[in-house]
Structure 1
Amino acid sequence: MTYQDILIENGDVVLDAGRNPVLIQDRAVIAQDIKHAIIESGLAVALIAERSRSKRRDISTQIELLVEEDMRLVPGTVRLEEPKEGVIYVFAKTIDFGELNLTVDVEKNRG
């Protein structure tokens, strides 16, 4: 185990049955960090607010570049999909932990 963190869902710490924080490791920590970086950047909200196709592509590129900054990922492996408005799928390969797949649901993460 290289990375460990507390699991956060919808802005809250997730607790187990004993009311202790749930811990996550390695790939899950990287995914959580990337998800929070996207949400905190405001780019996901900007993406769903934008109607211009070219500006939406520009914002998607900005999100991709933001994710690419994570040193724990293999450069050039980041791919984004937006299957429906307000939902972004992020696919990448980590250097030490294999494939990474995460979902950013903007509506669930607005605060």
Structure 2
Amino acid sequence: MTYQDILIENGDVVLDAGRNPVLIQDRAVIAQDIKHAIIESGLAVSLIAERSRSKRRDISTQIELLVEEDVRLVPGTVRLEEPTPGIIWVFATTRDFGTLELEVSHG
């Protein structure tokens, strides 16, 4: 185990049955960090709110570049999909823990 963190869902710490924080490791930590970076950047909200196709592509590129900044990922492996408005899927390959997929939803 290289990375460890407390699991956060919907802005709250997740507790186990004994009321202790649930811990996550490695790939899950990277995914959680990326998800929070996207949400905190405000880009997810901008993407959802934007109607212009060209501006949406620009915002998607900004999100990709933000995710690419994470040194724990293999450069050039980040891919975004938006299957429905308000849902963004991020796919990437980590340097040490295989593939990563995470959902960012806002709105």
TM-score (norm 1): 0.96
User: Which residue in 1 is equivalent to 2:58?
Assistant: 58
Report 1:74-89 matches (<5 A): 74-89=74-89
Report 1:15-26 matches (<5 A): 15-26=15-26
Paired residue total: 107
Counterpart CA distance in 2 for 1:76 and 1:36 is 21
Q: Can you give the 5+ residue segments of structure 1 that lack an aligned partner in the other structure?
A: none
Counterpart CA distance in 1 for 2:105 and 2:14 is 18
User: Which residue in 2 is equivalent to 1:106?
Assistant: 106
TM-score (norm 2): 0.99
Q: Which runs of 4+ in 1 moved over 4 A?
A: none
Q: Can you give the 5+ residue segments of structure 2 that lack an aligned partner in the other structure?
A: none
Cα RMSD after superposing both structures: 0.3
Counterpart CA distance in 1 for 2:59 and 2:105 is 16
Sequence identity percentage: 87
Counterpart CA distance in 1 for 2:64 and 2:27 is 18
Shift of 1:54: 0.1
Shift of 1:60: 0.1
Residue 97 of structure 1 aligns with an amino acid whose one-letter code is: F
